[in-house]
Amino acid sequence: MNKHIVPISILIIGFFSLVLFSCSSKKKAITAENAITNKALEIYILMGQSNMAGRGPLAPEDSIIQNKNVLMLTKDLKWVSAKNPLHFDKPGITAVGPGLSFGLAMQEANKKVVVGLVPTAVGGTSINSWIPGGYDKATNKYPWDDAEKRIIEAMKYGTIKGILWHQGESDSKLENAAVYLPKLEDLIKRVRILVGNDKLPFVVGQLGKYNLIYDNINKETAKLPALVPFTAIATSEGLTDKGDNTHFNRASAIILGERFAKKMLGLQKEK
């Protein structure tokens, strides 16, 4: 036999090995569709008021889907590819917040997963309306009750992996800030009970340091990690407003989302 001729048995084995490798690779490939079908989404809840909902001006690139494995739950409870604006609390006003850049960073950190973002923030709301039955007259909404319904729906498609909270501008007067922390602790406990995870990571975003009155809240939330396990603070150091002394501009909102992701990943490693 010519020593340069490869035996047919080896060719057959090689062919089937290639087929098996190809099938295996396909099985490992993750898509949004099969993650939803298999209830395998890694889900994050976005809670708070306007800076979480997003008020950074939209740019042309916000109309482009950046990553098909980062999804958002729409107002009518449909999973779609995420893009800004994620929220719908005040149509025509909602724009760029930290949620999308957070989701993109989390998926980048683990490309084998599909990330699901659940927008629940309501602009202008006090923490006092984030309780069962709490009502926000300005928006005619029940922030906690509405969020609860959306969280329960989201859990049908995967696992809640963490909560982002950015709120407090409405509670930043000194007398309100002084009683803020126990209310936040209660909210954390409530949401952990809801999802059945007493170690659920909870990351709080600092209010913008461009407004001195927000220091009243930032000083209180800075105490949280020492009081409640599996919580962290995403700093707003160096971030700027869009000119209204209240809302982050587009670039700052995006940076804050990335800082949220860094803190979330750190908490997940602690568990």
Q: 92-106: per-residue pLDDT in tens?
A: 999 999 999 999 999
List the alpha helices (DSSP H) in 38-93: 50-53
Strands 41-48 and 231-234 come out as unpaired
pLDDT at position 39: 97
Three-class HEC string of the chain: CCCCCCCHHHHHHHHHHHHHHHHHHHHHCCCHHHHHHCCCEEEEEEEECHHHHCCECCCHHHHCCCCCCEEEECCCCCEEECCCCCCCCCCCCCCECCHHHHHHHHHHHCCCCCEEEEECCCCCCCHHHCCCCCCECCCCECHHHHHHHHHHHHHHHEEEEEEEEECCHHHCCHHHHCCHHHHHHHHHHHHHHHHCCCCCCEEEECCCCCCHHHHHHHHHHCCHHHHCCCEEEECCCCCCECCCCCCECHHHHHHHHHHHHHHHHHHHHHC
Return the sign of the alpha-carbon dihedral for residues 32, 253, 109, 45.
negative
pLDDT at position 30: 81
Does the residue 186 lie in any domain?
A: yes
Q: Which single residue is written with the structure tokens 């893009």?
A: 83
Alpha carbons 71 and 43: distance in angstroms, whole number? 9
Does the residue 1 lie in any domain?
A: no
| pLDDT beneath 70: ranges in the chain | 1-29
Does the residue 221 lie in any domain?
A: yes
CATH classification at residue 253: 3.40.50.1110
Angle at 213 between CA 265 and CA 252, to 5 degrees: 40
Does the residue 201 lie in any domain?
A: yes
Does the residue 210 lie in any domain?
A: yes
Expressed in angstroms, the distance from the first to the final Cα of the chain is 62
| Host domain of residue 88 | 30-270
pLDDT at position 7: 52
Does the residue 17 lie in any domain?
A: no
pLDDT at position 81: 98
Q: Count up the domains in the chain and report the number.
A: 1
Does the residue 152 lie in any domain?
A: yes
Does the residue 19 lie in any domain?
A: no
